[in-house]
Amino acid sequence: WTVAATASLLLVAWFGVPAIAARLTPLLPPSIERKLGDAVDAQVRGMLDTGKRDTALECGTAATEIPGRNALNKLMQRLEAAAALPVTLRTSVVRKDEANAIALPGGRVYVFRGLIDKAENADEVAGVIAHEIGHVAHRDGTRAILEGAGLSFLFGMLLGDFVGGGAVVFAAKSVLQSSYSREAESAADTYGTDLMNKTGGDAHALANMLEKIGGATEPGMNILMDHPETKARVAAIRQRAATQSLQPFLEPGEWAALKQICAGS
């Protein structure tokens, strides 16, 4: 009986939890998903904030950084208007040197300073954010967290307890250390490309960033992992990208300001 019980638990963990998570995720009201995101966000920020204590984690708060924050707001307003999601996106740039970006449940998006440093224009930054918005729209983060944290987190969530025990800590670590499935990444590529097309921006910029940093090895649920299918993804994005007259996301002066959004560090 002990062996049978153990085997049953393993089967539930291996097959049952992903199935439950996949079916439960689309049914979650946005308000519940936002609470889940807030609980995970508190842990994620603590894990990201490993720098100097006298410097804020988020860029764009110092006087010299305000123009950069305004430029990011303008970029995000254009993406949000085209995406028209049922949740409000909350995007921040953080003082991390990796070329990275992550999306949390409920619409929280973190862009790392290293990504902006690596980008050659605002459309490249917008393309990566558009990809992350795809993960938000498809609720990939919520599903991944529910799958990774296991039954205890599922039951806690159903009871309204998002912070009990160590489940939320595990969920936060899964955000920073795991990558999405190939199918989820491909779907986010498609969403991001279509969103860039819809805004009139340069959808090829997303492919440019993939080519530029496709060999990076920073952890995180993002497009920046060294996937074997990077070339195929780039080709798919370029094939889908529109060729109409493009309108850059930011003027040259605004882009220069965004590049300096972390200058106060």
The count of other CB atoms within 10 Å of the CB of residue 229 is 13
pTM of the model: 0.81
Res 159: pLDDT: 52
Asked whether 159 and 153 are in contact (CB, 8 A), the reply is no
Predicted local distance difference test score (pLDDT) of residue 49: 81
Q: What is the pLDDT of residue 94?
A: 94
pLDDT at 162: 53
Cα Rg, the chain, nearest whole Å: 19
Q: How far apart are CA 177 and CA 118, in angstroms?
A: 21
pLDDT band at 166 (very low <50, low <70, confident <90, very high): low
Average per-residue pLDDT for the chain: 79
pLDDT at 147 over 50: yes
Name the pLDDT band for 220 (thresholds 50, 70, 90): very low
| pLDDT exceeds cutoff 80 at 117 | yes
Find how far residue 193's CA is from the centre of its chain.
15
- What separation in angstroms does the CA of 17 have from each of 25, 145, 152, 156, 180? 12, 11, 10, 14, 16
Instruction: Reply yes or no on whether the pLDDT at 244 is more than 50.
Output: yes
Task: Give 50's pLDDT tier (boundaries 50, 70, 90).
Answer: confident
Residues 6+ apart with CB under 8 A from 26: 139
> Cβ atoms within 10 A of the Cβ of 99, count?
21
* 239, burial (CB in 10 Å: exposed 0-12, middle 13-18, buried 19+): exposed
Burial class (CB in 10 A: 0-12, 13-18, 19+), 171: buried
**What gap in Å lies between CA 103 and CA 131, rounded to an integer?**
10
H helix intervals, the chain: 2-11, 17-24, 30-48, 66-83, 113-118, 122-138, 140-149, 151-158, 167-177, 182-199, 204-213, 230-240, 252-259
CB 87 within 8 A of CB 109: no
Residue type, position 230, single letter: T
Q: Is the pLDDT of residue 185 over 50?
A: yes
Given pLDDT bands bounded at 50, 70 and 90, which one contains residue 153? Answer: low
Nearest-angstrom CA–CA distance, 151 and 198: 39
User: pLDDT of 51-104, one tens digit each?
Assistant: 655 568 899 999 999 999 999 999 999 999 999 998 899 999 999 998 889 998
User: How long a stretch of residues is the chain?
Assistant: 265
Between 95-109, 133-147, 197-211, the lowest mean confidence (pLDDT) is in 133-147
Q: Is the pLDDT of residue 133 over 80?
A: yes
More confident residue, 79 or 166: 79
Contact 197, 203 (CB under 8 A): yes
